[in-house]
Amino acid sequence: MLLFTMCAGMFLVQLDVTVVNVALPALGADLHAGLAAQQWVVDGYAIVLAAFLLTGGALGDVFGHRRVVLAGFGLFGVASAGCGLAGSASLLVAARAGQGLGAALLLPGTLAVITSAYPRHAERARALGIWAGVSALALAAGPVLGGAVVTAVGWRPVFWLNVPVVLAAAVATRRLVPRGERVPGRRADVAGVATAVPALGAAVYAIIDRNAVAGIVALAALAAFVAVERRAQDPMLPADVVRQALGPTFVAAAMNFVGIGTILVLTLYLQGVRHASPLTAGLEVLPLFGPLSLLAPVAGRLTGRFGPRPWMIAGLALGALGMLNLLLLDGNSGYAALLPTLLGLGTGMGLLTTAVVTAAVGGIPPGRAGVASGINNTARQAGGALGVAVLGAVAGEPGAGFVAGLHAVGVIAAVVWLIALGVTLGGVRPRVAAGV
């Protein structure tokens, strides 16, 4: 029940990344919101989530993850109600930012609670496999659930549906998660928070909006964060945690760079080149989401027995081969020609997701599980945003040159994952198995 409750919290976080996309035309018409405002409904959530993930994990390590997860549920529920009540686009964007802040408290906290509840390596890996499978299911379910709700009853219930789920999950969290006490001698790294939030938020905004000024702000804030952390007595980002998480963090960023960016490009290909309807295109992408959702729990068991490294290697190799298959496509290719890419990428990510999370949090002291989770999830959020920006720009608008851009996407994605494979070989230590 504890695992189910933490998965419910994470499911809401991931679902709200994608569920709102299909509601944009309806809410735009209702609130008289133009394209820019509609984009901010999506990006306001994503930017705040990425900006505060590291902070959310660090606060949980200091004050106890039960407290922070409950605060995250409360904030997410109130903000969801605010979204449902919003009478203007600006109020909706503000409420979405509140959802992002609640999600940033929830996501690393749920992972840290699971890590603490399953101290043995094999059990933890299996639990993380279920957690990762639910995460993948949420991303796939978002457009489908959102489309069904908007079609049946309008866009506001998309947000109201969160409220009863949040209430039930908060009650379950109070009953099931042990009450963690504040760690003696630990204190909140206020200066670290004050510099990490603008560094991460500005970086993700610079990626999404391709804004040079935001990029400069991000670099300046990052430099300040590094200087602050070097002098801090109890730093938010301890050097030993950074060293251990560095390899898995790079692989996590590379995974989402290719995965999230490729989903966008393939959607453009299916609709713009093959002229599929939105519903048909959504169904045709299911061979990617199916293996990702189904394999994650299996990969958790395999990771628990053999360690994360073999499955990271296998997932990256399969995914790279799938992306190279894009070189064989042209404007007249049938759907069957695309299947090796969908299955290769979906299988690769299905093997990879649980293994990457396990490698990131495995061996981290319990008092640092939250910040380790925050690092990993921040890398995934930023990697996905960068993948959408870069691979989307390489592919371009569907038209005469789109297939050439699609070929370039295949090469870039394969190279990124092969580099990640090299990082895995050199930076993720083998782990002999089961329960040791």
Mean pLDDT by 10 residues, the chain (436 residues): 88 79 83 85 87 91 90 96 95 95 92 85 85 79 77 89 92 88 70 91 86 94 92 83 85 92 86 80 82 86 89 96 95 91 94 88 74 86 84 85 93 97 87 42
Separation between Cα atoms, residue 247 and residue 239, nearest integer Å: 14
pLDDT at res. 410: 96
Place of tokens 């297939």: 403
Separation between Cα atoms, residue 32 and residue 11, nearest integer Å: 30
Angle at Cα 294 formed by Cα 375 and Cα 177, nearest 5°? 50
288 Cβ contact partners less than 8 Å away, ≥ 6 residues apart: 263, 266, 342, 343, 345, 346
Separation between Cα atoms, residue 30 and residue 21, nearest integer Å: 15
Tokens linked to 60: 């949980």
Separation between Cα atoms, residue 28 and residue 393, nearest integer Å: 25
Q: What is the CATH number of domain 1-189?
A: 1.20.1250.20
pLDDT at res. 278: 66
Tell how far CA 112 is from the center of its chain: 16
Which of 208, 72, 92, 102 is closest to 155 using CA atoms? Answer: 92
**DSSP-H helix ranges across 210-285:** 212-231, 239-268, 278-284
pLDDT at res. 363: 67
The SS3 assignment for 112 reads helix
**226 with 361: CB under 8 angstroms?**
no
CB count within 10 Å of CB 216 equals 12
The highest-level CATH class for domain 238-436 is mainly alpha
pLDDT at res. 432: 41
Question: 35-63 and 65-85 helices cross at what angle (nearest 10)?
Answer: 160
Residue 104's Cβ-count burial label (10 Å; 0-12, 13-18, 19+) is: buried
Which of 303, 408, 298 is closest to 347 using CA atoms? Answer: 298
pLDDT at res. 204: 85
Angle at Cα 161 formed by Cα 58 and Cα 59, nearest 5°? 5
Angle at Cα 240 formed by Cα 189 and Cα 434, nearest 5°? 120
pLDDT at res. 185: 64
pLDDT at res. 181: 59
Separation between Cα atoms, residue 41 and residue 34, nearest integer Å: 11
Separation between Cα atoms, residue 51 and residue 201, nearest integer Å: 4
Length of the chain: 436
23 Cβ contact partners less than 8 Å away, ≥ 6 residues apart: 146, 149, 150, 155, 158
Write the single-letter amino acid at 203. Answer: A
CATH 1.20.1250.20 segments of the chain? 1-189, 238-436
| Distance (Å) of CA 150 to CA 28, 137, 142, 174 | 13, 20, 12, 33
The enclosing H or E element of 50 equals helix 35-63
Question: 335-361 and 121-153 helices cross at what angle (nearest 10)?
Answer: 130
Separation between Cα atoms, residue 78 and residue 49, nearest integer Å: 16
Separation between Cα atoms, residue 157 and residue 146, nearest integer Å: 9
The pTM score is 0.81
Separation between Cα atoms, residue 27 and residue 75, nearest integer Å: 22
